[in-house]
Structure 1
Amino acid sequence: MTSPIITADLVRLDADFGTSATDIVTQLAGVLATAGRTTDPQQLATDALTRETKAPTGVPGKVAIPHCRSEAITVPTLGFARLARPVDFGGPDGDADLVFLIAAPAGGGKEHLKILSKLARALVRKDFLDSLRAADTNEDIVTLVTEVITAEKKKKPAEPATATEQPAAEPTGESTTRIVAITACPTGIAHTYMAADALAQAAEARADVELVVETQGSSSTKSMPNSTIAAADAVIFATDVGVRDRERFAGKPVIESGVKRAINEPGVMIDEAIVASNNPNARKVSAGGSGASAAAADEDAEIGWPRKIQQAVMTGVSYMIPFVAAGGLLLALGFLVGGYDMANGWEAIATGYSPNNLPGNTVEVGGELITFDRSGLALYMGAVLFATGQMAMGFIVAALSGYTAMALAGRPGIAPGFVGGGISVLIGAGFLGGLVTGILAGLIAYWIGSWKVPRILVSLMPVVVIPLLTSLSVGLIMFLLLGRPLASAMMGMTDWLSSLSGTSAVLLGIILGLMMCFDLGGPVNKAAYLFATAGLSTGDEASLQIMAAVMAAGMVPPIALSVATLLRKTLFTPAEQENGKSAWLLGLSFISEGAIPFAAADPLRVIPSMMAGGAVTGALSMALGVGSRAPHGGVFVLFAIDPWWGFLLAIAAGTAVSAATVIALKQFWPNRIAQEAAAREQQLAAA
């Protein structure tokens, strides 16, 4: 039998749970544990608070809806507290006195998300909130909540016209403005649907607006009909993530903001959309697609071009990493199986032989006989693995360029971005050229997408005109202007890396170690990683050493923090103590992000400590001449690291420095929040 989403033992009325959002979430997680709804309340609290750091969950009505998906939850669950002392959750109208903890299983399907979204939509109804505040018993709360999450759609004011429920709007006169809207938040559980309802209810109260909303959340993925979009006079995008298939709205006047603005100011956004629909100079949705109009409608919140370009480069790096990881590991496996002289003849072996025609240890390569360390099936399979890895590595510059362009200009930017990346490889400009062509292709495609063209050409712009003109422009710029200077710069950097030795190599290791531990997976970390992977395909010894230093330094923070929580448990919050139990494994796997919860909670102590250890690891790795043919994998790719003992020694030294430093800082410069949390935990244990 399916467990009800809320029961009386999941409710607390007029509770005094503390004075901060952390206190409230931690206490509610304890309520769920008492009711047998979570296997690990500390992990649940950590997951919910991690979501809270991305965006506050306070909403209009003095309500907070902290929510998350968690491995510590097995069935969809709602915990509710009516607080005796309201607490700040970042809501627009003050401290919240009603708090729902919405907890969903990490691997759950979409049915439970539909239930959760119904609750989120009810929270914009004043009568529902008044009933929650007036309820006398836990059972009254359960009844009220159960009614709204099980009710069918009956009251039009409480339900927006969604993409799947309303056909294209029919003309109703010159005074009616037809608006279509997209709402989306990162988790797709609550804010997505609350924004949809807030907009819909604001529109219902007016005679001059017809609104259709498409919720791009976790429980609704159906798109609104093209006929509805064609009939619309303006578009509202209220999202914290990219709009899927944004090019459907090309040419429409657009008002754009984060999802919370639609919850807080739905009427204002509708007014802005009406004004935009009557303004021929209003900003339009570009034919360039999802990245073409990233600025917010509110000028004060508008993202500048430098920030957009930085985000686009990070997007390109993120899409490039799977090529690097797969290709690099396959190269390493090729060396492991076929021998470390595999690079001398992998192409001839992979294409000239087969399982029925295995090579001996002497193979003709380019008219010259070369003797290999291995022969037969091992040599052939090593060559196949190596060849597959080379093909993957051959795409990294094109992927970097193509997806950087896509982030700026949407899907029309992909083709010219890949073309620019291919040109960069051809002329020897490498990843520097890929960065430049990705940015160029994205900006040019964005600009062309903003052209005002006859309506007959609008549908051709994203699939023909923009890719054609942008690819031509990028090709001409690279071949005629930038290609040779970039190739020279790339060659100079390669020669500099090859010449590094002694003190200069150690200094580079220190710098890379500091970068890897500064933001733990952020832009600085990614820049260091990109620098390391850029030269990996060349097989140059200096590049292999840089890769080893970067990977070793990136492994230090999670391992060090895990060690620190083990050695001095009382210096860390209960949530951090739980994170420490698994952080070591993330560190051994080269997942620096395992340290983010610690850094987010206490950046002034954690980040400098991690940077100190990272610098030691990077310096020692370079000093010992450690090289890695694998771009990822941590200790699980020791077979591709030489000398492996130097790699482990560097990690151990950096871990010791970071752990000792963070313990010292927390000991002699105490963290008040951690001390209070530890004290509460001790009180609960004593009770």
Structure 2
Amino acid sequence: MELIDILTKDQIILNLKGTNQDDVINELVDKLAENNLTSDPVSFKKAIYKRENEISTAVGYGVAIPHAKSKSVTKPTILMGRTLHGVDYGGQHTNLIFMIAAPENASDEHLSLLSKLSTFLMSETFRAKLLVATSVDDVVNAIEDHDIPEDTESADKPDSGKYIIGITACMTGIAHTYMAAESLKEAAAKRGMKVKIQTNGANGPENQLTASDVRNADAIIVAHDVAVDTESLQGKRFVDVPVKKAISQADQLIDKALSYDIRDSSANIDISDEEEPEKKSGINFYKHIMSGVSYMIPFVVVGGIFIALSFMFGIDAANPESDQYNVFAEFFSQVGGEAAFALMVPILAGFIGFSIASKQGLAPAMIGGMIATIGGSGFLGGMIAGFVGGFSAKYIGRAFKGVPKAFQGLISVLLVPLLSTFIVGAFMFFILNTPMSLLNVFLENWLTGLTGVNAAILGALLAGMMASDMGGPINKTASAFGLAMFAANIFEPSAALMVGGMVPPLGIALATTIFKNRFTLQETEAGKASYVLGASFITEGAIPFAAADPLRIIPANIVGAAIGGAACMALDISLKAPHGGIFVIPIASSAPLLYIGCILLGSVVTCIMIGFLKKPLSEEARKKAKAMDSII
């Protein structure tokens, strides 16, 4: 049974009228009764709320999947509701609600449907298609594109008898985590291998590996850009790579993992004693920084938005001695500036240390980060404190490996954190804080003094770097600079960086609309989703187009982003929330309309360049490309 067989057109509501969780549940249950799919809507609604009271079915990413069994349900059914304004569902802002109804005597069929539907909804492109759908036919087409029956060729392959397991975790825990997992699953399935991948997503680990999984595994792959707890892997050797490698090189990684022969107990090694080539090449350094940044970002976003809300009451409204004083302004200022912002650097340092030395590195690195905040060395000082604290804890821990196990607990909770904290504390207090604080003051004064052409050049550089490799090292270098300035209360670079992240998908989306004859039919369809992705500051919407035609798309992205970023900084526009796209601009930007104008300017430039650089495709070539895509 396919999803489209039980989610029919008359079970889709594109414009839910409800403004809260109860309203939308009522609308969907009413639709269920209207279609004669339940004989007792009241009892089914009770079953839905019983499930919600156990744990909310809001799964994140703007999606909720309420589900229940009831004897009043006549057959397994899915209903879909969409609300563009969004509702608070289980404490999460939600736009898409899928209700699954199953008869009471069904053999957990609704759970299998839930699993399948959840897999679909992990795709940002799929969710975006549902959000931009203008008719129920658009929804049906989006589901049909994803609801492809399993490949009979791979199903006929003999069981290889091999079992591969893995863990995937990206910086945000949204797109690449699940893309990597799906890539590994598909590659393993083609070989007739059994596979289980744990995804460490934004809502925590899913499909968690068990001790039995690890014991029975023939190969293990860990693909991550942030710290992952590998203690559960029982010391077995595993392939350790960044997430993107799992997406693009799944077959090669499986070959490498199988070559380790971890079923042979003599081949098992202490993974802390042997580093993979990827680690030695410096990717590990990048991973530690990204781990710290990923944990810091929520503090940055919350702090910036709360400070922006405080300023809405007046520049001095948070000061009790000012005539503008407002108690709510003081509340927002205290939560955002005195709490969230104060924790940014210690959190950054702490989780860099955690990435290096696991739990033992957290305390010394975080304390070092707080010393960086107190001593004025700021974001850069916090990064260094994270590395000093983390590596101190790691090597002190190794030095005491030979101590009898009876004393290991005392060493891990007392000796290691005590000695490593002394090392990082002394380093920060006596050596680093003074010169780093002077450097920060110089940098802040220089940036504050930038005006006109100089500011425009910096804005163009930052935004262009942001658009150049869309998540790669150049992009992250620009992001790190912006976060450093953000921590120093300089918010103009953040505005330029967000322009650089939003322009590529928006410019490409415009190009697929205006210059349709330059793209295949599938690319034109994907361009619609890029509008939503770009507006949400999800640069990944541009990646498929850049991968397909890098020599034309990437230069257009960089030039458009650079022009938008230059205009943004030349106009002295600031942004007090470095993430969130269109959703934070109205409250976090110093000039929302001008800022949106800069984004549109860059997007139009990218669009025009793409139209000029790409040659038109014949109608026959477009149809042929669509046919090839359907075969693949």
Fold in common (TM above 0.5) = yes
| TM-score between both structures, scaled by the size of structure 1 | 0.60
Q: Provide the C-alpha distance between the structure 2 equivalents of 1:682 and 1:224, rounded to a whole number of angstroms.
A: 45
Aligned match of 2:557 in 591, 610, 622? Answer: 610
Instruction: Give deviations 1:516-572, integer Å, cap 9, x for gaps.
Output: 211223333233233223333554xxx232222222332211211111110011212
Q: Which moved more, 1:317-326 or 1:71-80?
A: 71-80
Alpha-carbon shift at residue 664 of structure 1 (Å):
1.1
In structure 1, the partner of 2:385 is 437
Question: Which of the numbers 527, 531, 546 marks the counterpart of 1:580?
Answer: 527
Which one of 291, 296, 314 corresponds to residue 339 of structure 1?
A: 314
**Per-residue deviation, residues 630-686 of structure 1 (Å, max 9, x unmatched):** 33333442343233343233223212211111111112xx789x984544449999x
Q: 1:195: Cα distance to partner?
A: 6.8
1:457 and 1:200 map into 2 onto residues whose CA distance is: 43
Q: Distance in 1 between the 2:529 and 2:186 partners?
A: 34
Structure 1 residues 262 and 463 mapped into 2: Cα distance closer, same or farther (>3 Å)?
farther
Residue equivalent to 2:420:
470
- Opposite residue 322 of structure 1, the aligned amino acid is P
**Greater shift in the superposed pair: 241-250 or 508-517:** 241-250
CA separation of 1:500/1:184 partners in 2, compared to 1, >3 Å: closer, same or farther?
Answer: closer
1:311 and 1:574, CA in 2 relative to 1: closer, same or farther beyond 3 A? farther
Is 1:517 the equivalent of 2:467?
A: yes
Q: Is the 8 A contact 2:507 2:603 kept in 1?
A: yes
Q: How far apart, in 1, do the equivalents of 2:366 and 2:265 lie?
A: 39
Q: Give the AA of the match of 1:408.
A: I
CA distance in 2, matches of 1:74, 1:679: 20
Task: Give secondary structure in 2 for the equivalent of 1:238.
Answer: strand
Q: Does the alignment pair 1:428 with 2:414?
A: no
In the superposition, the TM-score normalised over structure 2's length comes to 0.65
Task: Within 5 Å, give how 1:139-218 maps onto structure 2.
Answer: 183-184=166-167, 187=178, 188=181, 191=184, 216=198
Q: Quick one: which of 200, 204, 210 aligns to 1:223?
A: 210
Q: Choose which of 317, 323, 348 in structure 2 pairs with 1:371.
A: 323
Check conservation: 2:221, 2:257, Cα contact below 8 A: no
Shift of residue 424, structure 1, vs aligned partner: 0.5
Indicate whether 1:492 and 2:442 are aligned.
Answer: yes
Partner AA of 1:485 in structure 2: P
Provide the residue aligned with 2:498 in structure 1: 551
How far apart, in 2, do the equivalents of 1:538 and 1:267 lie?
48
Matching residue's letter, 2:444: T
Contact 1:184 1:191 in 2 (8 A): no
Partners of 1:450 and 1:78 in 2: CA distance: 51
User: Is the counterpart of residue 284 in structure 1 residue 260 in structure 2?
Assistant: no
Say if 2:198 and 2:207, in contact at 8 Å, map to a contact too. Answer: yes
2:286 is matched with: 310
SS at match of 1:342: coil
| 1:247 maps onto 2:223 in alignment | no
Contact 1:510 1:615 in 2 (8 A): yes
- Aligned CA distance change for structure 1 residues 219 and 529 (closer, same or farther; 3 Å): closer
| Cα distance per residue 1:235-277 (max 9 Å; x no partner) | 9743334896423567x47454678578547774227954445
Which residue is 2:458 aligned to?
Answer: 508
Q: Is the 8 A contact 2:295 2:347 kept in 1?
A: yes
In 1, the alpha carbon distance for the partners of 2:279 and 2:504 equals 31
* Counterpart amino acid of residue 323 in structure 2: T
Give 2:611's aligned residue.
Answer: 663
Q: Residue by residue, what CA displacement relative to the aligned partner does 1:164-211 show, whole Å, maximum 9, x if unpaired?
A: xxxxxxxxxxxxxxxxx964455456846997999999xxxxxxxxxx
The one-letter amino acid of 1:398's match is P
For the Cα contact (< 8 Å) 2:304–2:588, is it kept in 1? Answer: no
CA contact (8 A) 2:369 2:385 kept: yes
CA RMSD of aligned residues (A): 4.3
Letter in 1 for 2:230: R
SS of residue paired to 2:261: helix
Cα contact 2:219–2:262 (8 A) shared by 1: no
Give ranges in structure 2 of 5+ residues lacking alignment.
6-77, 81-118, 127-141, 169-176, 200-204, 242-249
After superposition, give the CA deviation of every residue in 1:256-309 in whole Å (9 maximum; x if it has no partner). 4678578547774227954445xxxxx5244xxxxx97x33xxxx543252210
Partner of 1:325: 301
Structure 1: how far apart are the matches of 2:519 and 2:279? 36
Structure 2 residue aligned with 1:630: 577
Deviation of 1:505 after TM superposition, in Å, equals 1.4
| CA–CA distance in structure 2, aligned partners of residues 587 and 267 of structure 1 | 39
Residues 405 and 442, structure 1, Cα contact 8 Å, conserved in 2? yes
Distance 2:519 2:189 in 1: 40
Conservation of the 8 A alpha-carbon contact between 1:546 and 1:622: yes
Q: Which residue, out of 143, 146, 149, partners 1:79?
A: 149
Rate the CA distance shift 1:246–1:684 in 2: closer, same or farther, 3 A.
closer
User: Residue by residue, what CA displacement relative to the aligned partner does 1:296-351 show, whole Å, maximum 9, x if unpaired?
Assistant: 3xxxx543252210121122222211111111011111112x222235x1xxx4xx
Give the Cα separation in 2 of the matches to 1:602 and 1:640: 35
CA gap 1:661/1:246 in 2 versus in 1, 3 angstroms? same
**Counterpart for residue 174 of structure 2:** none
CA contact (8 A) 1:5 1:76 kept: no
Change (3 A) 1:613 1:381: same
Shift of 1:219: 7.6
Task: Output the CA distance in 1 between the equivalents of 2:478 and 2:428.
Answer: 26
Residue aligning to 1:597: 544
CA distance in 2, matches of 1:590, 1:262: 31
Aligned to 1:53: none
Q: Which amino acid aligns with 2:297?
A: I
Please say which of residues 241-250 and 502-511 is displaced more in the overlay.
241-250
Tell me which residue corresponds to 2:507: 560
1: CA distance between counterparts of 2:568 and 2:254? 51
Query: 1:269 maps to what in 2?
Result: 260
Contact 2:350 2:363 in 1 (8 A): yes
Cα distance change on mapping 1:442 and 1:264 into 2, 3 Å: same
1:620 aligns with 2:567: yes
Q: Label 1:476 to 1:565 Cα distance change in 2 as closer, same or farther (>3 A).
A: same
Which has the larger Rg?
1
Structure 2 Cα separation of the partners of residues 311 and 570 of structure 1: 41
Aligned-partner Cα distance in 1 for 2:392–2:620: 54
- Equivalent position amino acid for 1:310 in 2: Y
C-alpha distance in 2 between matches for 1:683 and 1:478: 59
CA 485–219 in structure 1, closer or farther in 2 if over 3 Å, else same: closer
Alignment of 1:33-112 (within 5 A): 70=123, 71=126, 72-73=142-143, 79-80=149-150, 98-99=153-154
Task: Give how far 1:159 is off.
Answer: 8.5
What CA distance in whole angstroms lies between the structure 2 residues aligned with 1:267 and 1:640? 50
- Per the alignment, in what secondary structure is the counterpart of residue 535 of structure 1? helix
Distance 1:656 1:266 in 2: 46
Quickly say closer, same or farther: Cα 1:270–1:458, change in 2 above 3 A: farther
Q: How many residues align?
A: 476
Give SS of 1:590's match.
coil
Unaligned ranges ≥5, structure 1: 7-36, 40-66, 83-97, 100-118, 127-157, 161-180, 202-212, 278-282, 287-291, 350-362, 364-369
CA contact (8 A) 1:262 1:269 kept: no
Per-residue deviation, 1:511? 0.9
